[in-house]
Amino acid sequence: MLTRVDPPALDRALQGWNAQYAAADEGLAIDGKTMCNAIDEEDRQTHILSALGHQTKTCCTQKKSPPCP
């Protein structure tokens, strides 16, 4: 999943997370899932990407990812 992400954009996003959440969490877990039986408007399975704080176990964000080619 991360191979399709623009490195400078990822770096900016992680720096933003660090500025906002680093006091509460020392680490960030990034996880991707394919949602079973969740089909989008173009008849493709739905994929989501989540970012969670290790210590707080808080979901910082969860976004639908672009479809794989």
CA dihedral 14, 20, 22, 24 (to 10 degrees): -140
Q: Considering the domain boundaries, does residue 54 fall inside one? A: yes
Q: How far apart are CA 43 and CA 26, in angstroms?
A: 39
Q: What is the pLDDT of residue 2?
A: 66
Q: Considering the domain boundaries, does residue 23 fall inside one? A: yes
Please give the residue that has the higher pLDDT: either 60 or 8. 8
Q: Considering the domain boundaries, does residue 21 fall inside one? A: yes
Q: Considering the domain boundaries, does residue 69 fall inside one? A: no
11: domain range? 2-64
Q: What is the pLDDT of residue 4?
A: 76
Q: Considering the domain boundaries, does residue 25 fall inside one? A: yes
Q: How far is CA 45 from CA 23, 57, 63, 65, 66, in A?
A: 36, 27, 14, 11, 10
What are the respective helix, strand and coil percentages of the chain, to the nearest 5? 25, 40, 35
Q: Considering the domain boundaries, does residue 49 fall inside one? A: yes
| Structural domains of the chain, count | 1
| 63 pLDDT more than 80 | yes
pTM of the model as a whole: 0.57
| 10 pLDDT more than 70 | yes
